[in-house]
Amino acid sequence: MTHSRPSVIAIDGSAASGKSTVAAKLADWLGYLYFDTGVMYRAVTWAVLNRGIDVDDEAAVSQVAETLAIRVLPDGPADGRQYTVLADGQDVTWEIRTPEVEAAIGRVSSYPRVRAALTEQQRQIAAGGSIVMVGRDIGTVVLPNADLKIFMRASAEERARRRFREKQALGKPANYQQILEAIIERDRQDAEKPISPMIPAPDAVIIDTDNLTVEQVVERVKQLITARETSPS
């Protein structure tokens, strides 16, 4: 007896662990919707900074999350983007990747009302199935009943190198040490969050990507899916 293909796949992991690239390729292979929840938190953080709101003002930040209209489109200008992010109709796809947003997102995403507002939107998006959803607490909080859960990790140094090369390839200013320090600080904030800390779900498959190419990670996940489709009941 064969099992059906997992309809809802949750991929979690630290910043620059490769999860977004892997998820996009996997979704393309499956013919599923690819959705990176991190861009929603980045969009809220960008809006907070853009409006001059203090990131320590929990009430004001939370109100932004509850009222900001965020749209993620699967296409856009041919400038290296995987998707287009709109915040209240404004294209902020690249603005949400700045060091300023990187430094503040950990604080913004720690607030309960921010997480509640965005989690509800994410669950609605996943309700139709046939989706690969990426984030940091998808398998533990957003979609605890996901059919397949993956948790990807890599050393801070390797992740900083990836971000550095990514920015260079796009012709954008890049400082390796600054990127590394931001990643280390983000990891600390994520691990210490009282709500939705970045930890793998008990039933998640953990993949260390330090010495693996994107293609190798994608192939490993494909094998997991195929094995589940053909495993006996």
Q: 34: closest CA among 43, 46, 25, 42? A: 25
How many CB atoms sit inside 10 A of residue 204's CB? 21
Can you give the pLDDT at residue 233?
Answer: 53
pLDDT value of position 14: 83
* pLDDT of amino acid 102: 86
Question: For residue range 130-166, what is the model confidence (pLDDT) as tens digits?
Answer: 999 999 899 999 999 999 999 999 999 999 998 898 8
Q: By C-alpha distance, which of 200, 14, 193, 196 is closest to 107?
A: 193
Per-residue confidence (pLDDT) for residue 162, from 0 to 100? 87
**Is-above-0.85 flag for pTM?**
no
Domains, the chain, in order of start with CATH, read 8-230 (3.40.50.300)
Query: What would the pLDDT profile of 159-205 be if each residue is shown by its tens digit?
Result: 999 889 888 888 888 899 999 998 888 788 777 777 777 889 999 99
Q: Are strands 84-87 and 70-73 parallel, antiparallel or unpaired?
A: antiparallel
